[in-house]
Amino acid sequence: MYNYDKFYKKFPVNQHDLAPIHSTRHAFTASLCRGNVLDVGCGTGNLADYYFGNYTGMDISEVAIKEAKEIRRKDAQFYVRDALTPEIGAETKFDTIVISELLEHLDNDEILFSNIKKWGKENTRLIITCPNGPRVPDPSHVRELTIPQLRKSLTIFGKVKFYNWPGATQQIFCTVDLGHKNDNLVSLVMIVKDEEKGLEQAVLSCLEFVDNIVISVDSKSTDKTKEIAMLYADEFKGYVFQDDFSKARNDAHEGVKTKWILFLDGHEYVAKCENLEKFLALDIDGLLVPIEMENEFIFHNARFYKTGVHFEGKVHEQQQCKKTYFYPDFLIKHNRFNAQSEEAISARFQQRDDMVPRIMGEELKKNPKNVRALFHLAVHYQSKKQFKKALSFYRRYLKLSKNPQERWVVLFHCCLCYMVLGKKFRSFLTACRTDKEMPGRWEIQRLQGMMFFEKKEYEKALEYLNSSFHDNPFNTLYRPMARDDAGTWNLIGECFFNLYNFDKANIAFDRASDLAKDKTAKEFFGKRAALMRDMLKDSFKK
């Protein structure tokens, strides 16, 4: 057995607080503690300095307990106890039992958990931390533990929850509320290929609200995607891609037993999740959630769908939900350029450049009125900067589609295509048509303001730019540009500058500086405002 007395004699008493992540772990543990706390394998009792309620620490090392009694708060209680002694009991039933960095030292924890039943009661919370697989090597560790292993072994005791805390890549953090039922509500289901760079962030971002994780890895994946998936997947699968994304997704979620499924790509992550259970209780089979792309374009997709719903379509696959509802308190961010290697990005673009025109082209041949194929072909060619070709598909789409939200975003992109092609009058007319399709959207008013600014019609530009600060009067499925009020105020300032109204230009640039989130932009706009004040002073002198 490892000599813990020797360890505590060798290292300083604050050994487990030296690295910032340890103090963060203690603080996070303390935030989850409640009532009367028992700290099993407490070492020198670090947690007693973070949790200020009733605290009892026990450890097998006499040296550690002696040091704990000397340096920790005097009302904390410390005992030399072996948690693996079968006969050990407790007169007190504890509200919280902490088992931090202990399980990896035990090749068998049956006696420990048998004792926990004696020390705990209904609603007692277990707080467990341990190294995340092989991430924290140590000669005293006798085994490696993963989230799937812990979920499987702990669910028999109560409701298990894992946490995406700051040290999650290195150390697993979970709680078990004894006697509570596990929800078994949501499974995260992923199909991935060469996602080593972003996969872990994707999984961790939804760790706290999913009850099951299924990861299916492409057989041609060449990086460490499989190894990362094995750390987190309750069910690991492999697939051979057959030119059909729907088949890959349907195969991945086959056999899932939770009520709902969330699908996420390996280069995405969940940036916001609030009121989830409320929305999952609705009488629907799909939840539309916002997805923000790298260029801040936002669209909605039914990423939450009921088990039993299937995908259709070989590329740009769609969930066949019958009844959906918009879930605004959730946000997925697409993070390809930060969460994929350059090789993986290049391969994905090549795949898309092959599949979209080929497969959507085949669908269009079968049915020339297929608006879905027209839409995706147009978007594809616009992304390839083939603007004339994109416009031809957009125009065909507009003749057929009756979907007002989609028609609006198509017309908006037509405006952009015409602008790039130098057809400014055609672009402005299309913007007017776009506004008639869905009146009152701020994006069009800002775009029209930018058009008049380029034409040096500054009075007209001001009229539209000043009208673009309002919020849209209704929920929108597509947001083609992010709000940039600082940028709009900067344009307003430039309009006033060109109209020789330096006083108002100064106010506009000051406002731009106040709203700017980027330090460099804030300083730049501030200097512009200062320049306007100087020019105003000079004009008074004259």
pLDDT along the chain (542 residues), means of 10: 71 65 91 97 94 96 94 95 79 93 94 93 96 92 96 97 96 97 96 97 98 97 96 97 97 97 97 97 97 93 97 96 97 94 94 96 96 97 97 98 94 96 95 94 95 95 95 85 94 96 96 95 95 82 58
| CA pair distance 35, 482, nearest whole angstrom | 46
pLDDT tens track for 426-476: 999 999 999 999 998 999 999 999 999 999 999 999 999 999 999 887 788
Q: What letter does residue 18 receive in the DSSP assignment? A: S
Q: Which long-range CB contacts under 8 A does 386-392 form with residues at least 24 apart?
A: 387/417, 387/420, 387/421, 388/421, 390/417, 391/417, 391/418
Q: What letter does residue 382 receive in the DSSP assignment? A: H
β-partners of residue 218 are 239
Q: Are 180 and 159 in contact (CB under 8 A)?
A: yes
* Other CB atoms within 10 Å distance of the CB of residue 479: 18
Q: Report how far apart the first and last C-alpha atoms of the chain are (Å, whole number).
A: 91
Would you state the torsion angle of the CA atoms of residues 42, 45, 49, 50, taken in this order, to the nearest 10 degrees? -10
Q: What is the pLDDT of residue 540?
A: 65
Strands 125-131 and 235-239: unpaired
| CA pair distance 376, 218, nearest whole angstrom | 25
β-partners of residue 330 are 273
CB burial of 290-328 (b: ≥16 within 10 Å; e: otherwise) equals bbbeeeebbbbbbbbbbbebbbebbbbbebebeebeebe
The dihedrals phi and psi of 493, each to the nearest 5 degrees, come to: -60, -40
Q: What is the pLDDT of residue 12?
A: 65
Token pair 């070492």 is at which residue?
43
Q: What is the pLDDT of residue 7?
A: 74
Tell me the residue length of the chain: 542
| Residue-range domains of the chain with CATH | 1-181 (3.40.50.150), 183-352 (3.90.550)
Query: 530: which residues sit within 8 A by CB, 6+ positions away?
Result: none
* CA 256, chain centre distance (Å): 22
| CA pair distance 292, 151, nearest whole angstrom | 31
Q: Give the pTM.
A: 0.91
Average pLDDT, the chain: 94
Would you state the torsion angle of the CA atoms of residues 11, 13, 15, 21, taken in this order, to the nearest 10 degrees? 180
Could you please report the per-residue DSSP string of 153-191?
Answer: HHTTTEEEEE---TTTTTEEEEEEEETPPP---EEEEEE
Token pair of 48 as six digits:
């007693």
Helix (H) or strand (E) holding 215, with range, is strand 212-218
Of the candidates 98, 106, 100, 104, the residue with the CA atom closest to the CA atom of residue 136? 104
* Other CB atoms within 10 Å distance of the CB of residue 481: 15
| CA pair distance 128, 398, nearest whole angstrom | 57
Token pair of 192 as six digits:
């991935």
Token pair of 220 as six digits:
């041609």
